[in-house]
Amino acid sequence: MNPTVVIGQAVAAAPTIPEPVLYTVIGALGLALTVLWRYYTGRIDKCNDSLSALQQQVATERERLAAERTEDRKDAELTEQKLRAEYETRYRLVLEDARNHEDTLRAEFLESIQAMSAKASESNAEVSQVLQKMLDRFVGGRPARPRSNYER
């Protein structure tokens, strides 16, 4: 069979709908689309309005928090400066005390070393005197011997 004939027979066999009914159905569909379009665009506009209001609230909250952060940073910097100054003064005082204590200890050590040196020289002098007396006593007062040629 010829395919054009089959198609032509199928078209001829299809039921026909009157044109006014078709126009009415198309108009009803267009009206339904228009109503749905307006409904959903209205919902989108309401959502956008509430979203912009929410974004505005978030922006003001962020600005408030930023201002608080800057104030907190300033307070933290002032506190840090105060603590640093206090620490520096305490450290300086402790360091001065340590240096003074070290100087005092050095002076005391010097005095004790000088005293020990004086006592050592005194005791050495006494020991040399005792040894000289012992030498004179046991050896006697011999005259000094003449030097030899090798010692000259």
* pLDDT confidence tier of residue 120, bands split at 50, 70 and 90: very high
Residue 8 has pLDDT above 90, yes or no: no
Q: What is the pLDDT of residues 73-104, one digit of tens each?
A: 999 999 999 999 999 999 999 999 999 999 99
- Give one DSSP letter per residue of 24-85, joined into a string: HHHHHHHHHHHHHHHHHHHHHHHHHHHHHHHHHHHHHHHHHHHHHHHHHHHHHHHHHHHHHH
Q: In which residue are the tokens 């040629």 written?
A: 149
Rounded to whole angstroms, how far apart are CA atoms 129 and 141? 15
pLDDT of residue 80: 94
For the chain, the structural domain boundaries read: 20-137
Burial 110-126 (b: 16+ CB within 10 A, else e): eeeeeeeeeeeeeeeee
The DSSP symbol for 116 reads H
Which pLDDT score is estimated for 133? 86
Fill in the amino acid letter for 121.
S
pLDDT at 143 over 70: no
Q: From residue 79, how far is each of 24, 66, 68, 127, 128 by CA, in Å?
A: 81, 20, 16, 70, 72
What pTM was computed for the model? 0.39
Residue 14 DSSP class: S
- State pLDDT tens for residues 9-61: 555 555 688 888 889 999 999 999 999 999 999 999 999 999 999 999 999 99
What pLDDT does residue 141 have?
62
